[in-house]
Amino acid sequence: MLKLCRLSIVLIAVALLLLPAIDVHSAGAIPSEFSNANSAINSAFSATYSAAENGGNVSALVAQLNGALGLYQKAERENATNSSQASLDLQNVIAIADQVSASAASTKAFGSSAKQMQYIESFGASAAIIVIAILIYIYGGRIYHEIWFYLFRNYKVRAPG
């Protein structure tokens, strides 16, 4: 019984000695986790910005980024009280940011091709308008007279008087 009691005291003493070490780990998410999450958001935004500049529709990416920012701010708030949850939130932030970066690449490609198509359409339409104008200038008179003769082919010309 005495032996058991001694063992319990030793175990409690060891636990008390280890407590500060455990506390260090639960004091908060390590700064590198915040730094990594912050870098991931910055990279994701840069990719989104590039996609937007190239004519891509980035509304969904912007919404996702704001979700990541909300999680980041939540992690900052809860870091002092619930560090494991803060770490989990920061991991989610990185996952969302990476997803945004990946989606931004395809959004950018889609936007670029849409923009290119718009250029082709505009220049094509302009060229067509100019060609039609030249044709009208060259053949317009002849076409007009041909149509006129066709429309009035059954009319009889009566001599005056």
Partner 1 sequence: MIVLTIITILAVFVALQPIIPTSAERFSEVGILGPQQTFANYTKTIRENQTFPLYGFVENNQGVAEYYKLLVKLGNSSTVVSNSTSANAPALSGYSIVLNDGQNSTFPMNLSINRTGTNLRLIFELWMFNVTTSSFAYTGLWDQLWINVTST
Binding site for partner 1 (CB under 8 A): 42, 45-46, 48-50, 52-53, 58-59, 61-62, 65-66, 69, 72-73, 118-119, 121-123, 125-126, 129-130, 133, 136-137, 140
In this complex, which beta carbon is closest to partner 1, that of residue 31 or of residue 160?
31
- Three-point CA angle 72, 77, 82, nearest 5°: 100
CA diameter of the chain: 149
Q: Residue 51 is encoded by which pair of tokens? A: 């996609």
In this complex, which beta carbon is closest to partner 1, that of residue 9 or of residue 136?
136
- Of residues 68, 74, 72, 2, the one with CA closest to residue 35: 72
CB of 18 to partner 1, least distance (A): 34
CB of 48 to partner 1, least distance (A): 6
Contacts of 47 (CB under 8 A, 6+ apart): 100, 101, 104, 105, 108
CB of 137 to partner 1, least distance (A): 6
CB of 24 to partner 1, least distance (A): 26
Length of the chain: 161
